[in-house]
């Protein structure tokens, strides 16, 4: 009698884990990547899902590839958002000189940002070119 609730809970956990794509669940910050090197850990976990549950495994691969969560981040051009927040003033405006200093320190990039202008809101064409859906 006591086994029935335990079995139901275990079945719920297993099915829920298989219906969700591993990369999308474990690495939500990777969503939006277009390409890159495939994370072998995420691919193996999706493959295990494919081995035991065919349809959820295929869905896991499809979701991870569609969202880009299966790709490893390109560490050459990655800066933690917390560090980039130091370049944003209290009024929400980006200080180009602070941003340039952060990029120089973190990525060893010397970008000409002295005369950069902040856009208030990117246009739909720019977002589409970057592989991001435009916001309504």
pLDDT in tens, 7-17: 888 878 766 66
Structure tokens at 22: 């591993």
- Beta pairing partners, 88: 94
Residue 86 DSSP symbol = G
The answer to whether residue 110 sits within a structural domain is yes
**Which residues, in sequence order, are CB contacts of 110 under 8 Å at separation 6+?**
100, 104
What pLDDT, on a 0 to 100 scale, did the predictor assign at position 120?
59
Q: Is residue 18 part of a domain?
A: yes
Rg (Cα) of the chain, in Å, rounded? 21
> What pLDDT is recorded for position 6?
87
pLDDT per residue over 40-83, tens digit each?
888 888 888 788 777 777 888 888 888 888 888 776 556 767 77
pLDDT number for residue 93: 77
- Structurally, the chain folds into a number of domains equal to 2
DSSP-derived secondary structure for 6-69:
HHHHHHHHHHHHHHS-HHHHH-GGGTT-----B-HHHHHHHHHHHHH-HHHHHHHHHHHHHHTT
Residue with tokens 């669940």: 25
What's the pLDDT at 47? 85
Q: Are residues 10 and 34 in the same domain?
A: yes
Q: Find the mean pLDDT for residues 98-122.
A: 73
| 98 in the same domain as 57 | no
Please identify, among 28, 43, 67, the residue that sits at the C-terminal boundary of a domain.
67
Is the pLDDT score of 122 beyond 60?
no
Instruction: Check whether residue 60 and residue 99 sit in a common domain.
Output: no
Model confidence at 1: pLDDT above 80: no
Domain coverage including residue 100: 79-120
State the Cα–Cα distance between residues 112 and 49, nearest whole angstrom. Answer: 47
């Amino acid at each position: 009698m006591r086994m029935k609730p335990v079995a139901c809970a275990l079945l719920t956990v297993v099915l829920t884990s298989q219906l969700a794509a591993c990369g999308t669940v474990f690495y939500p910050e990777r969503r939006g990547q277009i390409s890159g090197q495939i994370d072998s850990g995420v691919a193996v976990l999706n493959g295990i899902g494919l081995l035991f549950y065919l349809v959820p495994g295929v869905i896991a691969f499809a979701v991870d590839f569609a969202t880009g969560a299966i790709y490893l981040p390109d560490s050459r051009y990655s800066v933690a958002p917390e560090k980039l927040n130091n370049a944003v003033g209290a009024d929400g405006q980006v200080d180009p000189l602070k941003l340039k200093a952060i990029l120089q320190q973190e990525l060893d990039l010397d970008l000409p940002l002295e005369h950069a202008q902040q856009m208030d809101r990117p246009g739909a064409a720019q977002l589409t070119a970057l592989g991001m859906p435009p916001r309504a």
